[in-house]
Structure formats: C-alpha cells, structure tokens
Amino acid sequence: MSQEDQALTLSNPRLLSAVYFLLLSVILTCIIDVLFYFLGAEQFLPLFKAIVLAVIIAACFGALFGEKIVHSPKPYGHRVFLWGFLMVIAALPFYDLGYLLLANDGTSQSFWHGKPQESLQIYLFVLAYSFIIAGFWLAIAAGLAAMYLRGRLVYDILRSKYRRHIKSAEMGTLDQNHRKRHHRVRIIH
C-alpha cells in the first residue's frame, strides 16, 4: 500500500518558493557585497539597489519554478536540484540586464548611450563574467536550497499546520470544559 506524499498537497507552492528564494537572495546579496568589499572590489551597484533587484528577480523566478520544485514526486533529489540550478541559470540574464539598468559606472553609461551592437557586446560581456564569477556557484547553492525546501522545509510547514489544527481542536474542547466548571464571579468594590 503506497502512501501519498504530503508535500504534493501543499496549496501554494509558488508563493512558498517565491518567499523562500526572496529571503535567500537578500542574505546572499549582503554576503556577496561584504565579500567583494573585503576583497577591495569597487561597488558599482549600491547595496539597496542590489537587494531590490535580487528580491524582484528571485521572487519572480522562485514563483515560476516553485511548483516544479515543491510538487516533484519522490525520488526528487536530482530533479529538484536541477530545477533550482536551472532557475538561477535562467534568472541570471535578467539580473544582469537589471544590473546594467541600475549601475552607476561607465559600463552602464556605454550600454545606454552606445550603438545597439556595442550595447549587445557589453551585455554579453557582463553576462559571461557573471556566469564565470558567481553564476555557477549560485546555481549550485540554489540547487541545494531547492533540495532543502522540498526535502525538509515543506514537511516542517505541513507538520506545523497539522499541529496548529490539533491544538485549536484541543483548545476548543478545553474551552467548553472550562466554561462548564466555572461559575460566574462577581467582584464588588
């Protein structure tokens, strides 16, 4: 007798995945910014703009890939890792485009005021370097994070939902018993 996987019954996998990857993007953006600061790299994109851009991209792509990640049937290990990996690979070109839109350096100025062919070359250069420097490692981290989301966090959420339901049912019976046992108390001053 096969038992149905409770993770497949989660009602909002896209919302859960969007919020999960949104929070991870804020943490990773801060960590990467601090790491580049200590390495002495110049900050082309202010931290606030980088966080806003990362949040928007991570939430959108987390929502797009959320159902595939959360509702993957067992055995889900390699499949979920691959969806998380592909999510970052698909999101990185959009992040780089946003970077070029928001950056405060000469590269973004050349991107906007140059010829279309030069703009395309700048975009492809930034895209290639982002894949080389951080893209592959972020994709691996996102794959592992997707495995944690599907393998652990979803079940923790379902378990807490079940506990909350049981606790509210118990509180309802306790509340009824409490009302029956106690009489009205009047305080006179």
Counting the structural domains of the chain, the total is 1
Where would I find the H helices in the chain? 13-39, 47-70, 77-102, 106-113, 116-130, 136-148, 154-181
For the segment 146-176, what is each residue's pLDDT rounded down to a tens digit? Answer: 999 888 888 888 888 666 656 665 666 555 5
Q: Is residue 185 a part of any domain in this protein?
A: no
Report how far apart, in Å, the C-alpha atoms of 145 and of each of 32, 118, 138, 151, 186 are: 17, 37, 10, 10, 58
Please state the rounded mean pLDDT for residues 4-12.
Answer: 71
For the segment 56-90, what is each residue's pLDDT rounded down to a tens digit? Answer: 999 999 999 988 888 888 887 889 999 999 999 99
Average pLDDT, the chain: 81
Q: Is residue 64 a part of any domain in this protein?
A: yes
Range of the domain at 47: 6-180
The whole-model pTM stands at: 0.74
Report the percent of the chain where pLDDT is more than 70.
Answer: 76
The pLDDT of residue 1 is 37
Please state the rounded mean pLDDT for residues 105-133.
Answer: 79
Please state the rounded mean pLDDT for residues 100-107.
Answer: 72
Q: Is residue 189 a part of any domain in this protein?
A: no
Q: Indicate whether 188 pLDDT > 80.
A: no
Q: Is residue 1 a part of any domain in this protein?
A: no
